[in-house]
Chain A
Amino acid sequence: MARSVSNRRKTINTALAWAVGLIIFFPILWTILTSFKTEGDAIAYPPKFLFFDWTLENYSIVQERSNYMRYLWNSIIIAGGSTILGVLIAVPAAWSMAFVPSKRTKDILMWMLSTKMLPAVGVLYPIYLVFIKLGLLDTRIGLVIVLMLINLPIIVWMLYTYFKEIPSEILEAARMDGATLKSEILYVLTPMAVPGIASTILLNVILAWNEAFWTLNLTAAKAGTLTAFIASYSSPEGLFYAKLSAASTMAIAPILIMGWFSQKQLVRGLTFGAVK
């Protein structure tokens, strides 16, 4: 009897999980489906779910009108570059906070996190003016720096949490065996924290890939990322829903595929240390 109740609960839980999953995924599914419709079918009421004239016309128009590869390449460089730079800075910072904390470590961590609460538009003009002075407007290096700075508090926080899980005695043992600080971080700490570092990298690539405020405001014709590519198909005067959906599908496809293949690491990393 107890077993049958348990099975029923399992079934209900599974069904609920699927329902929640489908609700979360539905906007993406709808975008993908719309990308295969004509503009007429895209706005049809009642909406057409699967039974419409499937077409690849929107993808062909988007390919013809925009240089997708340039936007994609910019996104890869900017998301990848800002994450790598962020991790290079955050690993030593998180090490120091986790293993050599000072009286003010907690305050510093909170202060770093508080910078995330500042509305981005509040610093748009100062950053824009600095970028003009430094010649960084519409450059990939400029965006790498800005996105790295924006995501740095999250990277440091995540790595700090993972490093705190590692027993400091192991590092002490390495030190007693003669390991230098560099060797200790590179050959002892980093290999032990690989799942945490991997999930931090994955999460930050996703955050940088999807970032739209700075990538739209600090770029023009050269360093535009896939968010600028999507924005170019939005219009309040004229029907572009199917083309916009095709552009969106092309923009999210790489990160969706990456997320799919790395979901195990992502979940493992995000839940690391969650149960104590």
Chain B
Amino acid sequence: MSKKRTLLNTVVFAGFAVSSAFAASAEEITIATVNNGDMIRMQGYSSEFTAATGIDVNWVTLEENVLRERVTTDITTKGGQFDIMTIGMYETPIWGKSGWLVPLNDLSADYDAADILPAMSGGLSYDGTLYAAPFYGESSMVMYRSDLMEKAGLTMPEAPTWDFIREAAAKMTDRANDINGICLRGKAGWGEGGAFITAMSNSFGARWFDENWKPTFDSEAWHNTLSFFKGMMDESGPAGYATNGFNENLSLFQQGKCGMWIDATVAASFVTNPKDSTVADKVGFALAPDNGLGKRSNWLWAWALAIPAGTQHEADAKKFIEWATSKSYIEMVAAKEGWANVPPGARTSLYENPEYQKVPFAKMTLDSILSADPLHPTVDPVPYVGVQFAAIPEFAGIATDVSQEFSNAYAGQQSVEDALAKAQAIATEAMEAAGY
């Protein structure tokens, strides 16, 4: 019996040892990433990295919310499943502060880290140390139908106000022909409708928390933001806008059913691509609107590559990050697929390139990125960093619940006042529980 047990134990542990040995193969890295056009393109070209360095690359591609949960589980338990993680501006400073990421302050001279757009490097750093290298960056801007704008007898300014946008939306709306003056995100979720309304609230003088971390949904500025959004969307938005996110609005715009769409700058390449968009040659761009208070309603985001602390392949992971976020990667994509398809918003040199300057949305993308300030996102001072989010661990949970209340108000299930009162209660309770 004892011999049998010893044999069984030996077999079981030998199995574990073999599986561990396979997991720890030297010239191999595993990257967790999101599913979007630029990331898929990078996966396709990673064979060139393997050919140049001999390092095999394994990919784990997941939807971004699933990815967040998956990499959070792994990094907090030191699971070591990933050598590189694709994370955003929200997670990077929080995880960097917690010591969960490898600092990227020793990248090679050839890499030219100083070329990274300051807005991007600032948002991906904690305490002056870069913890994630931006693969691509984005802000938000107005994309509009130039033909419908002309038909409405209006000219889109380069930097419009919210009043102009509302007036234009009303004039462009043509319910008989199924054209909605404006399409915006109303879907619940901190990265969906929550991101949009937060960025919009900045231009109305609202803020999530005051200097003492007290939620401010009981302020007049928040009431004005939500009332304006709901009023404009009820007048000129598509039916069911309370459940529309990026994809739904992209689909509507590409089918010619939106006069204006304010959303991520990366969408510019989708709506101007004649293969997918029926209005590709009729799209103009403008900065996200403001209200004359000194802050515009555009956000700032980057998908960036970071190395979890404790990886067994730190040197190989750094090599990959240097390759994927380098100037030469951008040049390679431009040579093979054209300048409109390079990952935008990460490097200053890209916007100095005369070839890239010919891309119709390049200037407006850069201007939008430069006009977002994650360190001073609001009219009144705030204790947090981040334009469409507050970079604290509690934010994602609170904002998901708050945006659900807002969506319910958009759908007419409750009043704006009730939604804001509930948002105030949700945020206050969560912040107090977190010890703020």
A43 at interface by CB-CB < 8 Å: yes
Residues of B within 8 A of A124 (CB): 73
Residues of A within 8 A of B32 (CB): 220
5 pairs of residues in contact across A and B, judged by CB atoms under 8 Å: A132-B77, A136-B16, A236-B192, A236-B246, A238-B270
B392 at interface by CB-CB < 8 Å: no
User: B16 to A238, Cβ gap below 8 A?
Assistant: no
B70 at interface by CB-CB < 8 Å: yes
Alpha-carbon distance between A148 and B371 when the two chains are bound, in angstroms: 55
Q: Which residue of A lies closest to B43 (CB)?
A: A65
Residues of A within 8 A of B30 (CB): 220-221
Q: Which residue of A lies closest to B57 (CB)?
A: A221
Alpha-carbon distance between A65 and B46 when the two chains are bound, in angstroms: 12
B167 at interface by CB-CB < 8 Å: no
B195 to A: closest C-beta gap in Å: 11
Alpha-carbon distance between A99 and B17 when the two chains are bound, in angstroms: 41
Q: Which residue of A lies closest to B20 (CB)?
A: A135
User: A221 to B255, Cβ gap below 8 A?
Assistant: no
User: A236 to B19, Cβ gap below 8 A?
Assistant: no
User: Total contacts A to B, CB within 8 angstroms?
Assistant: 111
User: A237 to B246, Cβ gap below 8 A?
Assistant: yes
The 0/1 profile, CB within 8 Å of A marked 1, for residues 21-54 of chain B is: 0110000001010111100100110000000000
User: B43 to A235, Cβ gap below 8 A?
Assistant: no
A238 to B: closest C-beta gap in Å: 5
Residues of B within 8 A of A272 (CB): none
Contacts A65-B40, A237-B264, A239-B276 known; list 15 others, CB within 8 Å.
A39-B276, A45-B252, A124-B73, A135-B19, A137-B23, A141-B15, A216-B70, A221-B58, A234-B35, A234-B66, A235-B63, A237-B246, A238-B36, A238-B247, A238-B270
User: B82 to A239, Cβ gap below 8 A?
Assistant: no
Beta-carbon contacts under 8 Å, A226-273 to B: 228, 231-240
B129 at interface by CB-CB < 8 Å: no
User: B58 to A45, Cβ gap below 8 A?
Assistant: no
Residues of A within 8 A of B250 (CB): 238-239
- The residue that B60 contacts in the complex, of A43, A65, A139, A221, with Cβ under 8 A, is A221
Question: Given the known A-B contacts A216-B70, A237-B246, are A132 and B78 also in contact in the complex, defined by CB atoms under 8 Å?
Answer: yes
Alpha-carbon distance between A141 and B22 when the two chains are bound, in angstroms: 14
A51 at interface by CB-CB < 8 Å: no
Question: CB within 8 Å of B: which residues of A?
Answer: 39-40, 43-45, 65, 124-125, 128-129, 132, 134-139, 141, 216-217, 220-222, 224, 228, 231-240
B396 to A: closest C-beta gap in Å: 14
User: B19 to A234, Cβ gap below 8 A?
Assistant: no
User: B19 to A220, Cβ gap below 8 A?
Assistant: no
Question: Given the known A-B contacts A217-B70, A234-B63, are A138 and B266 also in contact in the complex, defined by CB atoms under 8 Å?
Answer: no
Residues of B within 8 A of A228 (CB): 60, 62
Residues of B within 8 A of A128 (CB): 73, 77, 79
User: A135 to B35, Cβ gap below 8 A?
Assistant: no
- The residue that A40 contacts in the complex, of B60, B254, B264, with Cβ under 8 A, is B254
B96 at interface by CB-CB < 8 Å: no
User: B266 to A129, Cβ gap below 8 A?
Assistant: no
B61 at interface by CB-CB < 8 Å: yes
User: A236 to B73, Cβ gap below 8 A?
Assistant: no
B64 at interface by CB-CB < 8 Å: yes
User: A135 to B247, Cβ gap below 8 A?
Assistant: no
Q: Which residue of A lies closest to B248 (CB)?
A: A43
User: A232 to B35, Cβ gap below 8 A?
Assistant: yes
User: B15 to A125, Cβ gap below 8 A?
Assistant: no
Question: Given the known A-B contacts A221-B58, A234-B35, A236-B64, are A135 and B23 also in contact in the complex, defined by CB atoms under 8 Å?
Answer: yes
Question: Given the known A-B contacts A44-B255, A135-B19, A235-B35, are A220 and B60 also in contact in the complex, defined by CB atoms under 8 Å?
Answer: yes
Question: Given the known A-B contacts A44-B255, A137-B81, are A239 and B61 also in contact in the complex, defined by CB atoms under 8 Å?
Answer: no
B59 at interface by CB-CB < 8 Å: yes
Alpha-carbon distance between A235 and B65 when the two chains are bound, in angstroms: 9
B227 at interface by CB-CB < 8 Å: no
Beta-carbon contacts under 8 Å, B322-353 to A: none
